[in-house]
Amino acid sequence: ICRSGQRSSDAAEFLASRGFTNCCNVIDGFEGEIGPDHQRSTVNGWKYCKLPWKQ
């Protein structure tokens, strides 16, 4: 998982191309896309969905 899901998607694709068969990605990442107010965590993402996390 990464902030927006792009880097973790790239990492999962890279690992899959190297033969790893159990790769997954959180599509919207931890904080998700930038919303209309130019902030993250207001449209989608792990945090927005109120999934468990600790700081």
Residue 41 belongs to domain with CATH number: 3.40.250.10
What is the pLDDT, as a whole number, of residue 36?
96
* Amino acid letter for position 41: S
Burial class (CB in 10 A: 0-12, 13-18, 19+), 9: middle
Tokens 């997954």, residue located? 24
The one-digit pLDDT tens for each residue of the chain (55 residues) are: 999 999 999 999 999 999 999 999 999 999 999 999 999 999 999 999 999 999 8
What is the pLDDT, as a whole number, of residue 23?
92
Distance, CA of 18 to CA of 30 (rounded, Å): 25
What is the pLDDT, as a whole number, of residue 40?
95
Range of the domain at 51: 1-55
* pTM for the predicted model, two decimal places: 0.81
Tokens 């999934």, residue located? 51
Q: Structural domain tally of the chain?
A: 1
